[in-house]
Structures are given as structure tokens and as C-alpha cells.
């Protein structure tokens, strides 16, 4: 299949495009199941979504959301947990009912049961209609690091040192960055009806190039997306060319 690519001049325009795809999805199916992602890249998309919500262009009342991943062993009230991220960047601003928002629980003592429970919850809700993804510099999607088997569903992972370094900027030191995470697997992600992948900024240039040119291999997890029939890649200028 061919990846659809939308090139945007700016990060702002990437964010607007991504938000519009969510709005469209919800307009077509008000009880859509959305797969959501965190990190620096989708911050602008969430801002746009909040604006669109405030101007009555989208209604989250019947929507259900499933986040891709969460750190393991980080308190859910820790400012860098993805629970907090979602609350601050989206949930506290919109009318998405609390019992329709799902994020994997990263509590150390629950983790074994959570791996199965989370996958089951996704299935029970009918699977994901639209999955938003970012990409790591090493091609990871969710927290599926290079060499994660493509057939895995929800699972725990040991984070790559490069991923911990890349995320250290959000913590006071690299020591504080968790070593383990729980994530939807590649198989979970590939079962989504539609996928939107956001690629922004200089540091993602190489990842974008590899995505477009390299063959499909577990060495570069995002390469699997070429086997999905409905993927839209939204990329900004900084990730496209030398600047």
C-alpha cells in the first residue's frame, strides 16, 4: 500500500491538519474509538482540538479514547506520566467522560494483569477507528523499540537507552526516566482502521527518510506501516529538508 503524505509548511499547519482528521472522524462516527499518543509532537494538535471544541465544531460525549503507552513505575500523578499529560493537554478541557478515557496503568503491582486487561478493553470497545502516532528517532511507535516482534499485542518493554536520553529533557535527570513501559504492540496498532502518523522537527528527518525508503523490518518498527491500507503521514518542513 502507499503511505499518503501531507507536507505542511509549519508545525502549526501540521497540528491543524491532524486535529481536523480527528474532527472529521468524530463527525462521521460520533462514538469513534480514538487511539491517542503523547510526546512533544501532538501538543499542538491537542491545542487545536480544544479550540475546535470551544467553537462547537466537535463533541466528545460519545467518543472513547485509548492511549498508546505509559511508563511503568511512575506514579500516575507524576507530571511526566502520560496520565498527567493527557489530563493537562486534553481531558480537562473537553467533554470526554472520564469513564470513556483509557490509558494503560503503569502501576508496578498491577502490570501483569494490565497487559491482558488493556488489550481486552480495546477489543471490547470494537477496536480503534483512528490511531494517532508519533515516531521516535529510532523509528519506534508507541514504545515498540527496534526489534520488537511485529506480532505482539499489549506488552511491557525495556526502553532503549536512546529513548530514555531523548525523553530525559522532560525529567530533572536521566536517572529519573523510567526503564520500563507498557505499550500497545505493533499488532494492536496495525488492527486500527485508520492511522495518522505525525512527524515534526529536525530530529525526525532521518526517521522520515527511513520510513519512506527502507524495507519493512523489525529493526525500524514504523516500517510496518507500509503494510497498512490507510495510513496518512503528516510531516512538517523541518522534518523534510535540510534547514
Cα–Cα distance for residue pair 234/42, rounded to 1 Å: 11
Using DSSP, state whether 238 is helix, strand or coil: helix
- Which residues make beta-bridge pairs with 236? 8
CB of 223 to ligand GLP, least distance (A): 15
Least Å distance between CB 40 and ligand GLP?
3
Q: Which is nearer to ligand GLP, 25 or 200 (CB)?
A: 200
List residues bridging with 234 in a β-sheet.
Answer: 6, 198
Q: Cell numbers of 91, please?
A: 481531558
Active site members: 69, 138, 140, 145
Q: Which segments within the chain are labelled E, that is strand?
A: 4-8, 33-36, 64-67, 69-71, 101-102, 130-133, 155-158, 180-183, 194-199, 231-236
Point out which residues bind ligand GLP (CB under 6 A). Answer: 37-41, 68-69, 134-136, 142-143, 163, 167
Nearer to ligand GLP, 29 or 180 (CB): 180
**Closer of 106 and 136 to ligand GLP (Cβ):** 136
**Dist. CA 66–CA 100, nearest whole Å:** 9
Q: Judge whether 116 and 184 are in contact, CB under 8 Å.
A: no
CB of 198: closest distance to ligand GLP in angstroms? 8
Task: Give the integer Cα–Cα distance in Å for 144 and 137.
Answer: 12
Cα distance between residue 91 and residue 67, in whole Å: 12
Cα(37)–Cα(101) distance, rounded to whole angstroms? 13
Least distance to ligand GLP, CB of residue 144, Å: 9
**Taking the complex as a whole, how short is the minimal distance between the CB of residue 218 and ligand GLP, in angstroms?**
17
Amino acid at each position: 500500500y502507499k503511505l499518503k503524505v501531507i507536507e505542511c509548511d509549519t508545525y502549526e499547519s501540521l497540528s491543524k491538519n491532524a486535529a481536523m482528521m480527528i474532527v472529521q472522524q468524530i463527525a462521521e462516527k460520533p462514538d469513534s474509538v480514538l487511539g491517542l499518543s503523547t510526546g512533544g509532537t501532538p501538543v499542538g494538535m491537542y491545542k487545536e482540538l480544544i479550540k475546535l471544541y470551544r467553537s462547537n465544531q466537535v463533541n466528545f460525549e460519545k467518543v472513547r479514547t485509548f492511549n498508546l503507552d505509559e511508563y511503568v513505575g511512575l506514579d500516575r500523578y507524576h507530571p511526566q506520566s502520560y496520565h498527567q499529560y493527557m489530563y493537562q493537554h486534553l481531558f480537562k478541557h473537553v467533554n470526554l467522560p472520564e469513564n470513556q478515557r483509557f490509558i494503560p496503568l503503569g502501576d508496578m503491582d498491577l502490570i501483569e494483569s494490565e497487559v491482558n486487561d488493556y488489550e481486552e478493553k480495546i477489543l471490547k470497545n470494537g477496536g480503534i477507528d483512528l490511531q494517532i502516532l508519533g515516531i521516535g528517532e529510532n523509528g519506534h511507535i508507541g514504545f515498540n523499540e527496534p526489534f520488537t516482534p511485529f506480532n505482539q499485542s499489549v506488552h511491557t518493554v525495556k526502553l532503549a537507552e536512546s529513548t530514555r536520553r531523548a525523553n530525559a529533557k522532560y525529567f530533572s535527570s536521566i536517572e529519573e526516566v523510567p526503564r520500563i513501559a507498557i505499550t500497545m504492540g505493533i499488532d494492536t496498532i496495525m488492527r486500527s482502521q485508520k492511522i495518522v502518523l505525525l512527524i515534526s522537527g529536525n530530529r525526525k528527518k532521518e526517521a522520515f527518510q527511513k520510513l519512506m525508503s527502507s524495507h519493512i523490518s523489525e529493526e525500524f518498527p514504523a516500517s510496518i506501516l507500509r503494510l497498512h491500507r490507510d495510513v496518512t503521514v503528516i510531516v512538517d518542513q523541518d522534518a523534510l529538508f535540510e534547514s
